[in-house]
Amino acid sequence: MAENNAKTSYTAADIEILEGLTGVRKRPAMYIGSTNLNGLHHLVWEIVDNAVDEALSGYGKTIVITIHKDGSLSVLDEGRGIPVDMHKSTHMPAVQLIFSTLHSGGKFSNKVYTSSAGLHGVGSAVTNALSLYCDVTIFRDGKINHLRFEDGGKLVTPLEVLGTTKKHGSLIRFKPDPKIFSSVEFKYDTICAHVQESAFLLKGVKFIVIDEREGKKVEYCYEEGIKEYLSTLNANKTPMGDIIFFEGEESSIKMEFAIQYAYKDYSETIYSYANNVRTRDGGTHESGFKAGITKAVNDYAEENNLLKGKAKLEGGDIREGLTAIISLKIPEQKIEYEGQTKHKLGTPEALTIVNNFIYTNFTYYLNEHKEFAVNLIRKCVDSQTARIAARKAKDEARSNNKKSKSEMILSDKLTPAQSKDYDHNELFIVEGDSAGGTAKSGRDKIHQAILPLRGKPLNTEVVTKDRMLKNEEFATLISTIGAGVGEDFNPDNSHYGKVIIMTDADTDGAHIQTLLLTFFYHYMKPLILKGKLFVAMPPLYRVWKEVNHKINYRYAWDDVDLEKAKKEIGPGYKVNRYKGLGEMNDFQLWESTMNPKTRQLLKVSIEDPLLAEQRVNVLMGNDTQIRRKWVEENVNFNEVDSFMDEVK
Ligand code: TSJ
């Protein structure tokens, strides 16, 4: 309406805004991490998070996410509607500012607990800046308000009132710009997995995901929240006792815990969250949780004379077979993270609060459930006994200084590192003997070991554990890493701080990578969870030019990078294309792919535990039809998608 868009001339604010959004388009990765599929979906999370925040504040119980046929995506909530009132100094409606200025979020909200999933804390403006269009409809105060941006955030339809309504809420529809992203195809499965995780954490909020391209639709709504999350994770296990659930609040920190033990399970699975964002590397809340459980179990065992003269239980003894979900809501001003990313909670208060809370409540629970308590302590003592026996056997093997049979097999294949500083050693699993040879002469002999692989590894998804163990390649790999396998695998015993898969950048290489990842996922999952498994990124090109008998050169990792490299080297450049690792000489392989100072590595992560399980089964299982369909729909080997996570 006229009075709402009475702007006729450019102001300083307009110019600032324009520059802000242009900046996002110039350096999108700074705001969304990357311009691959991960980055594309960041746009979605950024928008959805706003709707989630509104629901978290108590407004609106349903959020609808729709992938439209034109490649756009919309998010609809039933909240109060984004404010449309005029902002004083800029003479712009608040909603317009929200979509056109960076970091404006805080100015318009006084929320206490906000989710902040975006790695870089970016705003709706970033999504707008990276879209062909962004269409905003707000149902508020009985009116349907509308405005529209096009071509990277240019306002083409100022705020107008389209009619009246009894509804309230916000509807945002945007279409990502293919000039920015390597792919603009939203993935239904990726969106579902993320949304399901949010739904587990937001008790009672209903999420609907619709894919109009293929007529698919799913609803996620969990009245029981993280309890249902845990029962989904443990669906295929043999539980020991019920799901234990605690919730409480202390100094404005709200906490929820779901805990369950399982028989025949020796792994420890803890998923922790702060303000609905996964804290993948744990932090103070997780440490407090572990300390609380350890003390509660030890005190109980001692008071009831269940240890019978044995030593105190270690934390690890108590956590074998444990699955737990920890969810904390921490007020904005108290939230702190460790490191650059938001993967590790740093808030010191969370440690003591959680520790005391868990100690008190778990102690109470044990006293109220004697049978469970006795079973649990028996299981812990078994773990303790096994741990002590394993340590003893290892010490003996070491003092005998004899090589075991498996160690002898590996000795002629493995080129070991000279250092015994395991944490700083790196194992390169290399495709093919010839690349293995190059890697052997190019490596840092002190800290890098090379294990060449011949041919395609066995598909461990479709064979039994016995057959896998008889396979020479895997037997060698297991003894090389030296930390056991399957239930007995202990990442703390790994002979390498980093295990790096290095294959050619072609489809065969990608297949080998997948087969190895499948193996690690099934038999050495804790290695992945501890962030010790990586994929090397060999460059695809080397751009060079001779100037005054000197060669200037630079490697390039993809086609976009290649264009940059050509510009940097300047007219007269020549390009080598590497079809495989074998086409590089030892120095080139070292400086481009192996040297920690110059290489690019991808850390393998299990972004979403539920989806990862599903994916591995679909991709590697026996049902070739499902598999082919999945591969056709999802696999893009030119691109690193959410199965992995970029580090350097
Ligand atoms: F729908 C959506 F998910 F796409 C989306 C919803 C996207 C964006 C960018 C924002 C929202 C959104 C924002 N939903 N609800 C709100 N609420 C507010 O911005 C709001 C409403 C009222 C008040 C108030 O104090 O009256 C304050 C705020 C922050």
User: Ligand 1 centre and the CA of 177: distance in Å?
Assistant: 24
Ligand 1 binding pocket (C-beta < 6 A) is: 47-48, 50-51, 54, 75-77, 79-80, 82-83, 108-109, 124, 170, 172
Tokens of 78: 């039933």
Q: Which of 54, 57, 198 to mutate to test ligand 1, by most ligand atoms within 8 A of the CB atom?
A: 54
Could you tell me the pLDDT band of residue 249, with boundaries at 50, 70 and 90? very high
Residue 14: pLDDT over 70: no
Q: Which of 77, 131, 137 to mutate to test ligand 1, by most ligand atoms within 8 A of the CB atom?
A: 77
pLDDT of 536 reads: 93
The pLDDT tens digits for 264-292 are 877 888 999 999 989 988 999 999 999 99
> Within 10 A of 366 (CB to CB), how many other CB atoms are there?
22
E strand segments, 47-107: 62-67, 73-77, 86-87, 92-93
pLDDT of 602 reads: 85
How far apart (Å, rounded) are the C-alpha atoms in residues 273 and 286?
9
pLDDT of 76 reads: 98
Instruction: Work out the angle at residue 487's Cα, subtended by the Cα atoms of residues 486 and 488, and round it to the nearest 5 degrees.
Output: 90
How far apart (Å, rounded) are the C-alpha atoms in residues 419 and 483?
17
Higher local confidence (pLDDT), 52 or 389: 52
The pLDDT tens digits for 157-205 are 999 999 999 999 999 999 999 999 999 999 999 999 999 999 999 999 9
Tokens of 40: 């594309």
User: Ligand 1 centre and the CA of 51: distance in Å?
Assistant: 6
DSSP string, 476-544: HHHHHHTS--GGG--GGG-S-SEEEEE--SSHHHHHHHHHHHHHHHHH-HHHHHTT-EEEE---SEEEE
- C-alpha pair distances (Å), 18 with each of 123, 309, 457: 15, 72, 53
* Residue (of 634, 514, 638, 216) closest to 626 by Cα position: 634
Reported residue count of the chain is: 648
Of 461, 504, 608, 645, the active-site residue reads 504
Higher local confidence (pLDDT), 371 or 637: 371
Q: Which of 56, 97, 170, 175 to mutate to test ligand 1, by most ligand atoms within 8 A of the CB atom?
A: 170
Tokens of 375: 């079973």
Grouping H, G, I as helix, E, B as strand and the rest as coil, residue 453 is strand
pLDDT of 645 reads: 41
pLDDT of 107 reads: 47
Higher local confidence (pLDDT), 114 or 35: 35
| Burial letters 452-478, b for 16+ CB under 10 A, else e | bbeeebbbbbeeeeeebeebebbbbbb
Q: What are phi and psi of 390, to 5 degrees?
A: -65, -40
Could you tell me the pLDDT band of residue 406, with boundaries at 50, 70 and 90? very low
Residue 3: pLDDT over 90: no
User: Ligand 1 centre and the CA of 123: distance in Å?
Assistant: 12
User: Ligand 1 centre and the CA of 271: distance in Å?
Assistant: 29
pLDDT of 611 reads: 66
User: Ligand 1 centre and the CA of 479: distance in Å?
Assistant: 55
Residue 118: pLDDT over 60: no
Of the candidate ranges 18-32, 58-72, 228-242, 445-459, the one whose mean pLDDT is the lowest: 18-32
In the DSSP assignment, the letter for residue 120 is: T
3-state helix, strand, coil in the chain (%, to 5): 40, 25, 35
Say if residues 529 and 612 touch (Cβ distance below 8 Å): no
User: Ligand 1 centre and the CA of 74: distance in Å?
Assistant: 14
Residue 424: pLDDT over 90: yes
pLDDT of 617 reads: 63
Residue 206: pLDDT over 90: yes
Catalytic (active site) residue 431:
yes
Residue 93, C-beta contacts closer than 8 angstroms, at least 6 positions apart: 4, 84, 85, 86, 87, 147, 159
The pLDDT tens digits for 462-486 are 788 888 888 888 989 999 999 999 8
The pLDDT tens digits for 502-544 are 998 887 888 888 899 989 988 999 999 888 999 999 999 999 9
Residue nearest to ligand 1 atom 14, measured at CA: 51
pLDDT of 408 reads: 44
Q: Which of 80, 115, 145, 191 to mutate to test ligand 1, by most ligand atoms within 8 A of the CB atom?
A: 80
Higher local confidence (pLDDT), 619 or 234: 234
Say if residues 190 and 37 touch (Cβ distance below 8 Å): yes
How far apart (Å, rounded) are the C-alpha atoms in residues 587 and 281?
35
* Percent of all residues in the chain with a pLDDT value above 70, rounded to a whole number: 85
- C-alpha pair distances (Å), 561 with each of 278, 360, 552, 555: 32, 56, 16, 9
Tokens of 68: 């439209």
pLDDT of 71 reads: 97
User: Ligand 1 centre and the CA of 77: distance in Å?
Assistant: 9
Catalytic (active site) residue 14:
no
Q: Within 13 A of 542's CA, how many CA atoms are on the CB side?
A: 19
Could you tell me the pLDDT band of residue 2, with boundaries at 50, 70 and 90? very low
How far apart (Å, rounded) are the C-alpha atoms in residues 367 and 390?
32
Residue nearest to ligand 1 atom 25, measured at CA: 109
* Residue (of 55, 60, 52) closest to 78 by Cα position: 60
Could you tell me the pLDDT band of residue 559, with boundaries at 50, 70 and 90? confident
Say if residues 526 and 489 touch (Cβ distance below 8 Å): yes
Say if residues 580 and 503 touch (Cβ distance below 8 Å): no
Residue 640: pLDDT over 50: no
Indicate the burial class of 342 (C-beta count within 10 angstroms; 0-12, 13-18, 19 or more). buried
Residue 429, C-beta contacts closer than 8 angstroms, at least 6 positions apart: 451, 453, 477, 499, 500, 501, 502, 516
Say if residues 136 and 170 touch (Cβ distance below 8 Å): yes
* Residue (of 468, 429, 253, 277) closest to 353 by Cα position: 253
| Atom number of ligand 1 nearest to Cα 108 | 29
Residue 359: pLDDT over 70: yes
Residue 85: pLDDT over 80: yes
Which range has highest mean pLDDT (65-74, 83-92, 106-115)? Answer: 65-74
Say if residues 155 and 147 touch (Cβ distance below 8 Å): yes
Residue 364: pLDDT over 90: yes
pLDDT of 220 reads: 97
Residue nearest to ligand 1 atom 20, measured at CA: 82
pLDDT of 634 reads: 55
Of 247, 508, 613, 646, the active-site residue reads 508
Of 431, 461, 607, 608, the active-site residue reads 431
Taking residues 62-87, what's their average pLDDT? 96
The pLDDT tens digits for 425-472 are 999 999 888 899 999 999 999 999 999 988 889 988 778 888 888 888
Residue ranges of domains in the chain, CATH in brackets: 12-220 (3.30.565.10), 226-390 (3.30.230.10), 403-538+578-606 (3.40.50.670)
| Atom number of ligand 1 nearest to Cα 77 | 1
Residue nearest to ligand 1 atom 17, measured at CA: 82
Measure CA 271 to chain center.
Answer: 12
User: Ligand 1 centre and the CA of 109: distance in Å?
Assistant: 9
Indicate the burial class of 627 (C-beta count within 10 angstroms; 0-12, 13-18, 19 or more). middle
Residue 230: pLDDT over 70: yes
The whole-model pTM stands at: 0.70
Residue 612: pLDDT over 80: no
Residue 422: pLDDT over 50: yes
How far apart (Å, rounded) are the C-alpha atoms in residues 420 and 45?
44
How far apart (Å, rounded) are the C-alpha atoms in residues 447 and 500?
13
Residue 10: pLDDT over 60: no
Residue nearest to ligand 1 atom 22, measured at CA: 80
Mean pLDDT (the chain, rounded): 87
How far apart (Å, rounded) are the C-alpha atoms in residues 515 and 453?
12
pLDDT of 610 reads: 67
Catalytic (active site) residue 506:
yes
In the DSSP assignment, the letter for residue 594 is: I
* Residue (of 147, 37, 165, 56) closest to 96 by Cα position: 147
pLDDT of 337 reads: 92
